[in-house]
Amino acid sequence: MEFMLQLMQVKKTIEVVKNFPGLGEKIKKAREGDKRSLSQICRESGISRPYWYQLENEQIYSSVSEEMIRKIEATLGVDFGVSFED
């Protein structure tokens, strides 16, 4: 009987939290400058309309992931300047 060695992968996640004042307004302006409907933008970015409005109004009660911001940037074709480099 032959045994296969299986490797278990372990992922280390480092959480860095940084404030980006005015990011919600930037998201809103970028959306308003886009010709697509909010429904289409939300569909393409995988974000619900209620959550999108919470982002624009900065009424998020937990941190927004960098991945989420990158999805929005990609969908709208913009760069919001979100960086964790000092």
Nearby residues of 27 by Cβ (< 8 Å), 6 or more positions away: 55, 56, 72, 76, 80
Phi/psi-derived region of residue 12, left when phi > 0, alpha when psi is between -120 and 50, beta in every other case: beta
The pLDDT, as a whole number, for residue 1 is: 63
The pLDDT, as a whole number, for residue 26 is: 96
Tell me the mean pLDDT in the region 54-83.
92
> Is 61's pLDDT higher than 90?
no
User: Do residues 37 and 45 touch, judged by C-beta distance below 8 A?
Assistant: no
Condensed to tens digits (0 to 9), the pLDDT of residues 5-52 reads: 778 888 777 777 788 889 999 999 999 999 999 999 999 999 999 999
> Is 68's pLDDT higher than 70?
yes
Q: Which domains does the chain have, with CATH numbers?
A: 23-76 (1.10.260.40)
CB burial class (10 A; 0-12, 13-18, 19+) of residue 75? buried
Instruction: Tell me the whole-structure pTM to 2 decimals.
Output: 0.78
